[in-house]
Structures are given as structure tokens and as C-alpha cells.
Amino acid sequence: MEKVQSPAEAGLQEVWITHVFNADPETVFRAWTDPQQLAHWYAPDGCTIVFKKADIRKGGRYHSCIHNPVHGDCWCKGTYLELDAPRKLVFTAEVTDEHGNDVDPVTAGMPADWPAKTVVTLQFKPLGIQTEMTLHQTVAASLAKFTGAFPSWIEMFNRLNQQL
Amino acid sequence: MIIRRDVFQAIADPTRRQIIDLLAQESLNVNAIAEKFDVSRQAVSVHVKILAECGLLVIRQEGRERYCEARLGKLSEVASWATQYKKFWEGRFGALDRYLDTVKPQKSKNGKSTKSR
């Protein structure tokens, strides 16, 4: 059953962050798409990250483990939906286990409203010698609804074009 | 599997949320809490134990009774998954800043900023 959310609640269910990095978009994009570079910075402080699988291309999948010396291992998997170097990167982040199974977030110790699957969209814009990067993260289900609207618009425009 | 004992775990369960609501009004012993719910006294005891371990209540011995007192300060830590991810990403962006400095030492260090909405 779909939960009706107030706009304020819906707003709480998305992440929007903009950050300026001191490097050109190519360099920043590579740091996000090269597993060896990701290992240098992607794990939280004091943790390490290991990629069991990192097939970083459109449709490719990854399976990673962040090891926390206190809280143990945290497995994540996902699919790269879009790679448009050095402008845009879209991937999913899903709660999983060592074997890549789907895991219910509550079973993994997350709060009850924790989404099993989110979609992360990164956009990189040159800003002089720097890069302005925008991160948007949302629950996969809401994005599916959103993108589901697009094909119908395109169809409508196509029909309109044919008529003109 | 790690057993989380933090405020998020505490409020993940609807019965525990109701127990917190009850105790926010008055301190009660476990039997008095159990009377308010359709679940067994044992189940309520487990919830009370988890809430205590999460720091949301303290158990005070008074004669033969053990009273549960709410400690609501911890609730301010509660936020949505989005806030948790935001914290995660902001931490990661800081780490990426430091990493980029090592691969691009010739770049200037001014103008770093993070804003979020």
C-alpha cells in the first residue's frame, strides 16, 4: 500500500547536496568511476572499502563492502544506470549481504522506513578550474514513477509532431 | 549481523514508539506498561530492555518495583534516512577533497564549499 506523504515528508525523503571540488570534471568523474580511486576516499573515516565486483559501465553492477572496525561489515550493491563522462553518473544503492542477496533493511538493522533501494544521480559542471557537483539521492520507487512519466510525454510529442 | 543499539533501533518498532509516548507522560513499572498493550509482559520487558540499551529510558528500582523513566534527549538524534545519507555524503566529499589534493597538488585550495537543501 502506498503511503501518502505530506510535501514536508517527501522533502525529507530526498538528498540534494552541491559541493565544489578543486579539480576539473574529468578528474572528479574518474575518482567516482575508478574502483582503485574509490578505495582511497569512499569509505567513511576509519573504515575500509573492498569491491567484490565493480563493473563500472552502463548496465554494469557493483558489490562492495564497507568494513567498520567497530560495527562490522556493511554490504552494498547496485547498478550503473548512466555514465556520461564527465557530466553525469547515475547508479543505484541497494542493501545486500556478502552473497549479493536482496536484504530487507530492517533485517540489516536499519530503521523501518529505510529504503531497500535508492538512486544516486551525480552531475558535474565545470566552474573555472573547479567542478560543481550536485548529488541527488531518492528512493528508487519515486524515481521510477518520475521517469515513468517521461516516455508518455515523448510519445505524446511524437504524435504531435506527426500531426503538425 | 550486528545488533544496533541506538535511537534508530529504538523507534523502529511501533510498540516501542508507544511505550516512549506513555513514559513521556509518567514513569511506569513494566506491569503497568504491559497492561496498556495487547502483547505479553515478556514482550514488553524485551522492548523496555531495548529502549534502556538505546538510552531512551532508565530503570529505577523503588522498593520491589522497577520504574521506567523516559530519557527523551536522545530522540533529537532521530532523522530520516535522507539525513543519514546526507551526513554520509558530506563526510565522503570531505574525503574526496583531501584525495583530490593528493592527486592534484598544483590546484589552489580556495573556494571549497558544501551547501545542501
Phi, psi of B77 (to 5 degrees): -75, -15
Question: Which of A27-41, B49-63, B71-85 has the lowest average pLDDT?
Answer: B71-85
For domain A15-163, say whether CATH 3.30.70.260 is its number. no
Extents of the domains making up chain B? 7-74
- The mean pLDDT of B70-75, rounded to a whole number, is 76
In the prediction, which pLDDT does A71 show?
Answer: 78
Cα separation of B58 and A74, whole Å? 30
User: Can you read off the three cell numbers belonging to residue A65?
Assistant: 563492502
Residue A69: φ, ψ to 5°: -60, -25
Comparing B4 with A153, the larger pLDDT belongs to: B4
B2 vs A130, higher pLDDT: A130
- How close are the terminal C-alpha atoms of chain B, in Å? 33
Domain ranges for chain A, please list them. Answer: 15-163
Is the CB of A31 less than 8 angstroms away from the CB of B96? Answer: yes
Mean pLDDT for the stretch of residues B22-32 = 89
Q: List the 122-151 stretch of A: residues with Cβ below 8 A of B.
A: 129-130, 133, 135, 137
Does B7-74 carry CATH code 1.10.10.10?
yes
pTM of the model as a whole: 0.61
B110 backbone φψ class: left, alpha, beta (φ>0; ψ -120 to 50): beta
Length of chain B counted residue by residue:
117
Q: Pick the more confident residue, B55 or A71.
A: B55
Mean pLDDT for the stretch of residues B69-76: 76
Q: Which residues of B touch A6 (CB under 8 A)?
A: none
Buried b (16+ CB within 10 A) or exposed e, A84-107: eebeebbbbbbbbbeeeeebebbe
Indicate if the pLDDT at residue B7 is higher than 80.
no
Residues A53 and A87: their CA atoms lie apart, in Å, by 24
Per-10-residue mean pLDDT for chain A, 164 residues long?
43 78 95 94 91 96 92 91 97 94 84 84 95 90 53 53 56
CB-closest option in B2, B79, B81 to A109: B2
Q: What is the interface pTM, i.e. ipTM, of the complex?
A: 0.77
pLDDT band at B48 (very low <50, low <70, confident <90, very high): very high
Identify all chain A residues contacting B104, using CB atoms and an 8 Å cutoff: 22-23, 27
